[in-house]
Chain A
Amino acid sequence: MTDRLPASTVVARASNVAVTLLAACTLAGALWVGIEPIGPVPPLGTLLDPAHGIWAVARGAELPRRADLRMTGLRDSVSVTYDDRGVPHIFARNDGDLMRAFGFVVARDRLFQLELQTRAVAGTLSELLGASALELDREARAQGLAWGAERKWAAIPDTSQNHRLVTAYGDGINAYIAQMRPEELPLEFRLLNARPQRWKPQYTYYLLARMSLTLAWSDNELRRANIVALVGERAANALFASNAPIQEPIQPVDGRRAPRMTTTPLPPPAPPAPLDTARFRIASALDKAAESIALGELRPSPNGEIAVGSNNWAVSPRRTAAGHALLSGDPHLQLTLPSIWYEVHLVVPGVIDTYGVTIPGGPIVPIGFNRSMAWTATNTGADVVDYFEETVDDLRQPTRYRLDGTWLPLEKRIEVVRGRSGGILKTDTIYHTHRGPMLRAGNRWLSRRWTALDITDEGKALYRADEARSVEEWMRAMDDYAVPAQNFLLADTLGHIAIRSTGHYPQRAGDGRGDRILDGSRRANDWLGFWPTARYPQSIDPKQGYLASNNQQPKDPQVDSAYFGSNWPAPWRAMRINHLLRSDSAVTPDAMRRFQTDAESEQTSYFLPPMLDAVARLAATGSADTAAIRGAALLREWDGRFTRENERAVLYDAAMDELTQRTWDELRGTVQVRRGPTPSSAVLAQLMQEPNSVWWDDRSTPQRETRDSILVQSVAAAYRRVTQRYGPPGPRWRWSLIRTATINHLLRIPALSRTHVPMQSGRGTLSPSDGDGTHGASWRFVVELGPEVRAWGTYPGGQSGNPVSSRYDDRLSAWAAGTLDTLRFPRRAADIASPRATLTLRPER
């Protein structure tokens, strides 16, 4: 017989078991969400931990006032003093220590940016962001950027200065990662539940490859294929010509004070040919690949016009108020937070004393100044990419390609894309000919030859250039520079100014043109070599007393007819800055600053008067539509300026949109590729000289349109569109409400982005802006090369990549207002008044 427990005890025990189970389940659940991510939400334990989780980001937002750290590999102590603008001034005793400290401070402020841009090139974003980035990764690997960068790095001798300095810079990044305090882990890593990867020195070359994709990429061959199908070869050649219809070249033409305009009529369009669908597929495939990871300096707006672009100009001492050479740099790129640029001052006494902007990951100052000179760059837009249609033995799984009647083996590269957990998401095989990687489009295989994938060493040239003491020395140092080709503008304290479009430009067989897909089965179509340096577009101390470049065609074909590229942006910005510089014989640094955000455009004089005249002529006959008359009356009130408070610029902008769309109706009705089949507005200006050209006719109407009827229709349509969207003329038409900048966070997280920043920019102004405002002036600076070099500058954003830091976007308002900060250029760390923070790095004992 067993003793029976009292009922109350049984109930109590049962209750205790139930509580135990409940507590166990609750604890298990709480621990599970603490350890495991739920969808996009990181594990709550590590996220919410107030000591090490997301809250710690606040503690790491500002630099500690004083820090004293040990670093492996240093030979001597390095002093880093952050000035009131958060710019680190790094004082070291040798170049190796300088680079270690440089890597350390860049990582301290921009660690996530380093990670993301490296992964974008390597095609390993999926390991960080998950399967959503798979296509980006596949495209990046197909481009072969990382493959090319690895080859470059492998070819640099271990004993070279460049190898040593790039390695030291990487060591600095890794030293920071190794000693990083918990609160310093960037917010983005916490949100992604990830840790930074170890930096490899070759990642510096990944960055260079990325910049080459942004600046030295073109697909004119593909756009041209579309246009040929639509309007025929002759018309396509004229619309996307290798010579710009308005010539205002970078290399000045002696005695010329006004642009030279082509007077040749545009050949009429041929009837539409059957669309070559394979070509469209090729265009689409390659265009998509380029879009995926390009930062896109020269990206056209939806209407096809290249709406962003860089500027630089320099003035000789005889045309400046103080008698010192002046230089202005204004590179335009995609605007991001944090910015693509990081400001820094590098000093090794007697060796280097350079101030400027660097791209995180690149241990050089590509744009900046030293005690003797200043340098800056715009993109050349030269054609350094060619496509070759290859004959392969098997369309699905090729193993060989045919060259001059012989079958040659294809090289294979296996690319494995992994996800966050390390599992394989996709395996791709990339084939290479001797020219470069191949891409499949329909039933065709194209191989690509691109200067960016050649084995060249830009680092060596750029290091030497940063230390140059005169224009001449700088140009000599950069003789070997290959890619991305840039219009480098220079000025020195000796009073010299110079410009040279520096980089490798292919010498091609036949007519030398590279804007058509070439037959890959013939070796004769391969590049023959590169232009000699002496042939680069260049000018030193020109008679006119100033130099400028704005991405336009660098040499007038009347001076040198060699093919350099095609489909050049309209030279409105070049015309405007040349006009401003011609009109001012006593230029000041402040005038240089004002020019950077000048509100006028040379474009308007080509289009606005004919628009108003056309409406007036039709109104006189009594047959003009009311909208056109009202629109023209409002446009007559416009002062031609794209200022923030302007209430008429919006109407001109809309009228130009309408005019572009109505004029080029022949190019509609096809697969739309990103680069858009719309010719430059300079071609439209050329057409304006032919009032009865067949191009003005709208094929969709029974009547025959002329220039004037299209102009009137454009004004009327613009008036209707603007009033419909913004109401009657009034404050809602203010340009500041319409043309704004959009500065996205690198991951496009809205909370970390800054949008609707009012801009003073318009069509053809020196600071143009495209429709979505995602591109613009990425860094503006002015340098006066007097006995003491003085400089002013700013960029949209701030030095820190931490969105909570006061240094994340502290420069944004000054940038939007067009003002520049005074840049501190001390000779000694002690000369920095009220430093924001100091960091001393000492060798390991």
Chain B
Amino acid sequence: MKWLIQLIVVSVLMAMLTWFAGWWMVPVIGAAYGAWAARARLTLVTATLSAVLGWGALLAYDASAGPLGRLLQVLGTLFRLPGVALVVLTLAYAGLLAVSAAALARSLRRLVSP
């Protein structure tokens, strides 16, 4: 339960701070979470999942507010990829930013105070 709450809170933070500040908030939140939960289990999983969920929620909002399907079609043709591959790439990129930042912060925390 505690883990789930953490996941939801971090996901909401990922979405909100991306919305208000930009994509670079994902590694910032990831790092903060990694340092804060350095001793916890599932720290990296939580960081990754919350980034994916946070950005996924924003994509869902984009879809509800405009023709995301048509955009996927255009981008797919443009980049010569299936449209869905770009969605996967977007979410994977968010996950990568979050997990690498969280892992770095967690490791540094452990090095500083073993």
For chain A, residues 28 to 77, give those with C-beta under 8 angstroms from any C-beta of chain B.
30-31, 34, 44-46, 48-62
Instruction: Determine which of B24, B90, B100 lies in contact with A55 in the assembled complex, contact meaning CB atoms within 8 Å.
Output: B90
Chain B window 12-54, contacts with chain A (Cβ cutoff 8 Å), 1 for yes, 0 for no: 0000001100111001000000000000000000000000000
Other-chain contact of A51, B58, B68, B70, B71 (Cβ < 8 Å):
B58
- A17 within 8 A of partner (CB): yes
The docked-state distance in angstroms from the alpha carbon of A320 to that of B91 is 64
Question: Which residues of chain B come closer than 8 Å to A752, judged between CB atoms?
Answer: 74, 78
The proximity string for B residues 89-114 relative to A, scoring 1 for CB distances below 8 Å and 0 otherwise, is 11001101100110110011011001
A787 at interface, CB cutoff 8 A: no
On whether the beta carbons of B23 and A749 are closer than 8 Å, the reply is no
Residues of B within 8 A of A52 (CB): 22-23
B84 on interface, CB distance cutoff 8 Å: no
Whole-angstrom distance between the alpha carbons of A112 and B1 in the complex? 50
Closest partner residue, chain A, to B78 (CB atom): A751
User: Which residues of chain B come closer than 8 Å to A13, judged between CB atoms?
Assistant: 111, 114
Contacts of B74 in A (CB 8 A): 187, 751-752, 803-804
Residue contact B107 to A19, C-beta cutoff 8 Å: yes
In angstroms, Cα B70 to Cα A804, docked, is 6
- Which residue of chain A has the shortest Cβ distance to B76 in the bound complex? A751
Which partner residue on chain B sits nearest A31 by CB separation? Answer: B27
Minimum CB–CB distance from B6 to chain A (whole Å) comes to: 20
Q: How near does chain B come to A337, taking the closest CB pair, in angstroms?
A: 12
Complex-state Cα separation, A445 to B19, whole angstroms? 59
Main secondary structure of the interface of B (DSSP, over half): helix
Write the nearest CB–CB distance from A745 to chain B, whole angstroms: 10
CA of A803 to CA of B70, assembled, Å:
9
Q: Quick check: is A633 within 8 A (CB to CB) of the other chain?
A: no
A46-B114 Cα distance, complex, nearest whole Å: 37
Is A23 interfacial (CB-CB < 8 Å)?
yes
Task: Check A730 for interface membership: any CB of B closer than 8 A.
Answer: no
CB-CB under 8 A from A626, the residues of chain B are none
Q: Are B97 and A20 in contact (CB under 8 A)?
A: no
User: What total of A-B pairs shows CB separation below 8 Å?
Assistant: 119
CB pair A30 B97 closer than 8 Å: yes
CA distance A44 to B62 in the complex (A): 18
Report the minimum CB–CB distance from B93 to chain A (whole Å): 5
The CA of A378 and the CA of B90, in the complex, are separated in Å by 50
B57-88 residues at the A interface, CB under 8 angstroms? 58-59, 61-63, 65-68, 70-71, 74-75, 77-78
Which listed residue, A24, A27, A54, A191, touches B97 by the CB 8 Å rule? A27
- When distances are taken between beta carbons in the complex, the residues of chain B under 8 Å from A806 are 67
A44 and B107 CA atoms in complex are apart in Å by 26
Interface of A is mostly: helix
| Residue pair B107, A55 in contact (C-beta under 8 Å) | no
Q: Are B23 and A45 in contact (CB under 8 A)?
A: yes
The answer to whether A58 and B67 touch (CB under 8 A), given A51-B18, A751-B78, A803-B74, is yes
Say yes or no: A17-B100 contact (C-beta < 8 A), given A51-B58, A55-B90, A58-B62: no
A786-829 CB contact bits vs B (8 Å, 1 = yes)?
00000000000000000111100000000000000000000000
Question: How far in angstroms is the closest Cβ of chain B from A305?
Answer: 34
Docked pose: A428 CA to B101 CA in angstroms: 49
Contacts of A54 in B (CB 8 A): 71, 75
Chain A residues with CB below 8 A from B93, complex form: 30, 34, 44, 48
Contact B23 A26 (CB under 8 A): no
CB of A750 closer than 8 Å to a CB of B = yes
Instruction: Contact check, A59 vs B62: say whether CB atoms are below 8 A apart.
Output: yes
A427 beta carbon closer than 8 Å to chain B: no
Confirm or deny: A670 has a beta carbon within 8 angstroms of a beta carbon on chain B. no
Contact check: which of A20, A34, A61 meets B67 at CB < 8 Å?
A: A61
The answer on a CB contact under 8 Å between A55 and B78 is no
Decide: A58 near B71, CB < 8 A? Known: A30-B27, A51-B18. Answer: yes
Query: Shortest distance in angstroms between A267's beta carbon and chain B's nearest beta carbon?
Result: 55
* Residues of chain A contacted by B97 (CB below 8 angstroms): 27, 30-31, 34
User: Smallest CB-CB separation from B95: which chain A residue?
Assistant: A30
Question: Shortest CB–CB separation between residue A62 and chain B, in angstroms?
Answer: 7
Given A20-B107, A45-B23, A54-B75, do A27 and B67 touch, yes or no (CB 8 Å)? no
**A585: interface (CB < 8 Å):** no
Give chain A nearest CB distance to B23 CB in angstroms: 4
Partner of A50, one of B27, B55, B70: B55
Q: How far is the CB of B43 from chain A (nearest CB, A)?
A: 12
User: A61 and B27: CB pair below 8 A?
Assistant: no
The answer on a CB contact under 8 Å between A55 and B104 is: no
- Please tell me if A16 contacts chain B, counting CB pairs below 8 Å: yes
Cα-based distance from A752 to B71 in the complex (angstroms): 11
Q: Are A23 and B66 in contact (CB under 8 A)?
A: no
Residues of B within 8 A of A60 (CB): 66
Most chain B beta-carbon neighbours within 10 Å: one of A22, A50, A56, A749: A50
Per the bound structure, the CA–CA distance linking A757 and B27 in Å amounts to 47
Contact A50 B22 (CB under 8 A): no
Give the Cβ gap from B52 to chain A, nearest Cβ, in Å: 11
Contact (Cβ within 8 A) B66 A62: yes
| Minimum C-beta distance from A81 to chain B (A) | 22
CB nearest neighbor in B for A54: B75
- Distance (whole angstroms) from the CB of A64 to the closest CB of chain B: 10
The distance in angstroms between the C-alpha atoms of A51 and B62, with both chains bound, is 8
A59 close to B65 (CB less than 8 A): yes
A19-B18 contact, Cβ under 8 Å, with A27-B97, A58-B65, A58-B71: no
Q: How far is the CB of A498 from chain B (nearest CB, A)?
A: 46
Contact, CB under 8 Å: B114 / A55 = no
Contact B23 A56, beta carbon cutoff 8 Å: no
Per the bound structure, the CA–CA distance linking A31 and B23 in Å amounts to 10
CB contact under 8 A between A16 and B110, given known A50-B58, A58-B66, A59-B66: yes
Contact B23–A49 (Cβ < 8 Å): yes
Q: Given A16-B110, A19-B107, A20-B111, are A61 and B23 neighbors across the interface (CB < 8 Å)? A: no
Chain A residues whose C-beta falls within 8 Å of the C-beta of B19 in the assembled complex: 51
- Complex formed: what's the CA distance from A30 to B19 in Å? 20
Cα–Cα distance between A697 and B59 once the two chains are bound (Å): 70
- In the complex, how many angstroms separate the beta carbon of B22 from the nearest chain A beta carbon? 6
B57 and chain A: residue at smallest CB distance: A50
Instruction: Give every chain B residue within 8 A of A45 (Cβ-Cβ).
Output: 22-24
Find out whether the CB atom of A23 lies under 8 angstroms from the CB atom of B100.
yes
Given contacts A19-B107, A44-B93, A752-B74, contact A50 B62 (CB under 8 A): yes
Given contacts A26-B96, A50-B59, A52-B22, contact A58 B107 (CB under 8 A): no
Q: List 7 other contacts, CB 8 Å, given A17-B107, A751-B74.
A: A23-B100, A26-B96, A50-B90, A51-B58, A52-B23, A55-B71, A59-B62
List 24 A-B residue pairs with CB atoms under 8 Å apart, sorted by A's residue number.
A13-B111, A13-B114, A16-B110, A19-B107, A20-B108, A26-B100, A30-B27, A31-B24, A45-B22, A49-B22, A50-B90, A51-B58, A53-B23, A54-B71, A55-B71, A55-B90, A56-B62, A57-B71, A58-B63, A58-B65, A59-B65, A752-B74, A803-B74, A805-B67
Q: Identify the B interface with A (CB < 8 A).
A: 18-19, 22-24, 27, 55, 58-59, 61-63, 65-68, 70-71, 74-75, 77-78, 89-90, 93-94, 96-97, 100-101, 103-104, 107-108, 110-111, 114
The 4 closest A-B pairs by CB, nearest first: A58-B66, A751-B77, A23-B103, A50-B58
